Structure 1
């Protein structure tokens, strides 16, 4: 029997009766077509999940009874903050979705010199809501109970200066330095450039700010592929893969 995971933005506790509304209720009732007494898992993004069963289904709401806290941790011990230069359309969506699946805990979209995406305040707010929903859906699918923080877009220079993680890396193809020789960190900042890459000035600024240059082999990776490759290797070396 299927046991889908559903996100709901409300406090959860064992024995509680929870009413799902809006998108969560629509997904359970209309998309999944679930019926009373069928099981499902609820989580609210704060680190835990609960086993539950459907009590009732109506056109606008779904009522769920929570039976037990699920004692399972899926978060990696390695805390990664991804600084991802903005790219167009589905490329940015893909990067956020896969970074979430890989366990990244923070994502900041960045404006860099060669970034072709321009967003005014209204469009930034709309895109931020869109990216947050992508991260929520990814967490539902991959078993994560803690949703990554997606920060509002900011300038790459400002983001670099604010990073205080144990290790910091800037990925680019003008170096041959590998991901080796570092002590095991608890936290990492990873800077990824746009489709056209970071400029030499931005790379120098990153290295001046304490970022280590990093290459992932002789091939040039796409902006949406690079963070997934880098984070996968980092989690293999220092995380839980």
Structure 2
């Protein structure tokens, strides 16, 4: 069943409501050749999803009537904030998409010493809009009814200085304890997982993180790429704590 996200600001979703679908969704409906009477699923990020029937489809518009509310959720049993050192090129797109599929609650891009990408205010705004679109599309695809919160990029030092209610963990090949061993001996809990950019975090950055109470753990004997390390860690936690 095709799934579409509708922001709470653009339309009210409730059983019995008839609504005009946003232009982007109407275009998608036309592209995949749906017709009046077909069933679609709508969600607004506030929890649950709605079954709706298409009532009218035109060249540039479409309307639907909401028939049923489904309260089911596919969220992780713990909150997970991915703190990702900004990588080069389109790697961040890939990381955000796959992190959404794996269930992260929020995503915090950070600029580290070895980050190649440097975002000006204007570029950051454009990137944020682009990344938000990836989050929405990933939620539509993977069946999540809630969107991960996307935070504006900050420097690593700024993030370290913030007060965080989550347990903060960073991955380092120099750590003596593995994330898997730690997770097996601790109950599921809210985590902020810090991943360095290409080349990892510098020794100075790792030392600064430890001074701020960040726990240093490893992902295993192999050195993983930045676009692999975070996703592998999330999958590992899902496997040990549940959520896969």
Same fold per superposition (TM over 0.5): yes
Cα shift readout 1:162-194 (whole Å, capped 9, x = no counterpart) = 252342110111223112244214300000000
How far apart, CA to CA, are the structure 2 residues paired with 1:150 and 1:127?
11
Unaligned runs of 5+ in 2: none
Structure 1 residue aligned with 2:207: 204
After superposition, residues 58-137 of structure 1 pair within 5 angstroms as 58-137=58-137
For the pair 1:230 / 2:233, whether they are aligned, the reply is: yes
Q: TM-score, normalised by structure 2?
A: 0.93
Cα shift readout 1:113-146 (whole Å, capped 9, x = no counterpart) = 1101011111110100000000111000100000
After superposition, residues 205-220 of structure 1 pair within 5 angstroms as 205-220=208-223
How far apart, CA to CA, are the structure 1 residues paired with 2:242 and 2:130?
28
Deviation, 1:217, is 1.1
How far apart, CA to CA, are the structure 2 residues paired with 1:118 and 1:158?
15
How far apart, CA to CA, are the structure 2 residues paired with 1:113 and 1:65?
52
Q: Secondary structure at the match of 2:168?
A: strand
Unaligned runs of 5+ in 1: none
Q: Secondary structure at the match of 2:200?
A: coil
For the pair 1:160 / 2:163, whether they are aligned, the reply is: no
Answer whether contact 1:78 1:239 (CA < 8 A) is retained. no
Answer whether contact 1:84 1:191 (CA < 8 A) is retained. yes
Structure 2 residue aligned with 1:45: 45
For the pair 1:7 / 2:5, whether they are aligned, the reply is: yes
Q: Secondary structure at the match of 1:184?
A: coil
Answer whether contact 1:86 1:110 (CA < 8 A) is retained. yes
Residue number among 161, 183, 195 corresponding to 2:198 in the alignment? 195
Q: TM-score, normalised by structure 1?
A: 0.94
How far apart, CA to CA, are the structure 1 residues paired with 2:210 and 2:176?
15
For the pair 1:177 / 2:177, whether they are aligned, the reply is: yes
Answer whether contact 2:88 2:115 (CA < 8 A) is retained. no
Answer whether contact 1:78 1:235 (CA < 8 A) is retained. no
Which stretches of structure 1, 4 residues or more, deviate above 4 A after TM superposition? none
